[in-house]
Amino acid sequence: MELYDLQHILYIVISVVLTVAVLVLIKKFCKTDKSVKIAILAVAGVLLAVFVWNRISLAVIEGDALKLMPYSFCSMTTLLLALCTLFVKNKNHPVFHCIVYMAIIGPVLTLIFPSFIIGLDPIRTYSGMLHHSVALLLAILLIMYRQFRPDWKKWWALALGLCAYVTFGLFQIRALGFSDSMEINRAFVDGTFLWWYVVGPMVVVGVTAIVFTYQLIEKKIIAKKAKLKTEEIQDKKP
């Protein structure tokens, strides 16, 4: 697979279509809170399975057991999002206020420009693309069903989370001998200016847009419900 060849374009189209299809199906058939919760947990389970497939394929192909560990922002986000969704009851826990945003911004950028697909083994390529797609789907579901609610008051969690990512990356480089981790020693896209000090502000802008859009929509929904309730009360008056 090469960038923007037929396979890549087909993958983007299929990924978008399947994501929309799953969202529509869940919206249509999951009418109770319990069924929605089961659907979200099922997607999280699939995400974890795809992550494991990706890490095993990397470790086997490169002959290095250390590659079972996540060493990029997206792979770490995938693991954390899957595990936290499965085992953390409160989806508004501060950890979600970092990993959900990363699970939106990272996969979107990766689907558009996945530099890791060039000339690599197909199994590694497809498992990598797939875990990005499923992570994005899960993040959308958490927001769509308001299990996770973007909030300005928890903005600090993003900054703290990104520091944790980089700290873990430095540990892998300094202590475990990784040539790179968390894109510390290379650009996010080879041959471009997209180093961490450029992508960082881009992430901040992206998260700001997500929070602003969500809260704007939420305010309109609340205002609409209040209006309908007021109209119902007035209609009941003699």
Task: For 116-157, give the DSSP string.
Answer: GGTT--HHHHHHHHHHHHHHHHHHHHHHHTTSS---GGGTHH
Which pLDDT score is estimated for 16?
A: 86
Residue 237 predicted with pLDDT over 70: no
Which pLDDT score is estimated for 187?
A: 83
% of the chain at pLDDT higher than 70 = 88
Residue 18 predicted with pLDDT over 60: yes
Determine the Cα–Cα distance for residues 109 and 229; give it in Å rounded to an integer. 42
pTM of the model: 0.89
All residues at 6 or more sequence positions from 149 whose CB lies less than 8 Å from its CB, including other chains: 92, 143, 214, 218
Structure tokens at 136: 């994005």
Lowest mean pLDDT segment, chosen from 20-29, 83-92, 122-131, 152-161:
122-131
Determine the Cα–Cα distance for residues 198 and 152; give it in Å rounded to an integer. 23
State pLDDT tens for residues 27-73.
Answer: 999 999 999 999 999 999 999 999 999 899 889 888 899 999 999 99
Residue 123 or residue 176, greater confidence: 176
State pLDDT tens for residues 211-231.
Answer: 999 999 988 888 887 777 776
Which pLDDT score is estimated for 117?
A: 54
Taking Cα atoms as reference points, which of 205, 184, 208, 206 lies closest to residue 195?
Answer: 184
Domain edges within the chain: 6-236
Phi-psi region of 191 (alpha: psi -120 to 50; beta: other; left: phi over 0): left
State pLDDT tens for residues 90-126.
Answer: 999 999 999 999 999 988 887 777 665 555 556 667 7
Q: Are 116 and 180 in contact (CB under 8 A)?
A: no
CB atoms within 10 A of CB 146: 12
Residue 140 predicted with pLDDT over 80: yes
Which pLDDT score is estimated for 107?
A: 85
